[in-house]
Amino acid sequence: MTVRKNQATLTADEKRRFVAAVLELKRSGRYDAFVTTHNAFIMGDTDNGERTGHRSPSFLPWHRRFLLEFERALQSVDASVALPYWDWTADRSTRSSLWAPDFLGGTGRSLDGRVMDGPFAAAAGNWPVSVRVDGRTYLRRALGAGVRELPTGSEVESVLAMATYDSAPWNSASDGFRNHLEGWRGVNLHNRVHVWVGGQMATGVSPNDPVFWLHHAYVDKLWARWQRRHPGVGYAPTAGTPQVVDLHETMKPWNDTTPADLLDHTPHYTFDTD
């Protein structure tokens, strides 16, 4: 059984194996297919049109399935690897071990945002940014530049306390847990973390930065915490909503899985802690 662990608790060997598996997916071309898929959905999901991956109730189950696909790809390289999560309420400094050279590498240099250390630095030759929106082929970050502070634990608590999963109009204007976690309204959790990291993480091709997976693994964990907090509250909407994925409707691009199929994460993985 896959156990997703807090990145701060990984052993040196676990970090090494995770990095090696990611680099192998990159080398084989499989990694970039994930970046392409994400960008297609982020550009196609609109508030008044069809919306599946973002700005809609299926933001959470869509990313749960997307991460499962990526984790299974990693495990096809090294069966011992699981996706770690980054609790950005706790590890909120640029000096966190997350950003050390033995794991993801640090922030970018001021001249051009280029990441200069770690396994994903362009100079190492193993991380060409191929799926991109501009001419730059190197991984970039500007930790803490786009916004000064990552969300706090109390801000997360305020969102976990929301007793409605989602609400009409089922988009970036909605009230409820999903949109506050996504960040289009309120204290802003998920969106703000993308902005805090900067570089490709602030763009539609955000999975170019491997921290994408650790960020979304924590967002996913927050969904599980919310479910435990509100056991009687289900995914919404449940039927008949144009342009929006209802509880029992299949999701693109897989077309074989519904939000209902993904509400319980425990058939697929567990977390190191509740």
Partner 1 sequence: MSGLTRRRALGAAAALTSAAAVTAAVTTTASADGQGHDHGHEAPTGPAAGHDHGAPAPFDEVYRGRRIQGRPVAAGEHHGAHHGAGYAVFVDGAELHVMRNADGSWISVVSHYDPVPTPRAAARAAVDELQGARLLPFPAN
Query: Binding residues for partner 1, per CB under 8 A?
Result: 36, 39, 42-44, 46-49, 55, 112-113, 131-136, 146-147, 169, 171-173, 183-184, 190-192, 194-195, 202-206
The distance of closest approach from Cβ of residue 223 to partner 1 in the complex, given in angstroms and rounded to an integer, is: 18
Give which of 132, 116, 137, 120 is closest to 20, Cα–Cα.
120
Residue whose CB is less far from partner 1, 72 or 109:
109
State the DSSP code for 232.
Answer: T
Burial call 133-142: b when 16+ CB within 10 Å, e when fewer: eeeeebbbbb
CB 159 within 8 A of CB 229: no
The distance of closest approach from Cβ of residue 104 to partner 1 in the complex, given in angstroms and rounded to an integer, is: 19
* The two three-digit tokens of residue 79, written as one number: 């069966």
Residue whose CB is less far from partner 1, 231 or 242:
242
CB 222 within 8 A of CB 251: no
The distance of closest approach from Cβ of residue 111 to partner 1 in the complex, given in angstroms and rounded to an integer, is: 9
Residue whose CB is less far from partner 1, 44 or 233:
44
d(CA 38, CA 36): 6
Residue whose CB is less far from partner 1, 4 or 220:
220
The distance of closest approach from Cβ of residue 259 to partner 1 in the complex, given in angstroms and rounded to an integer, is: 21
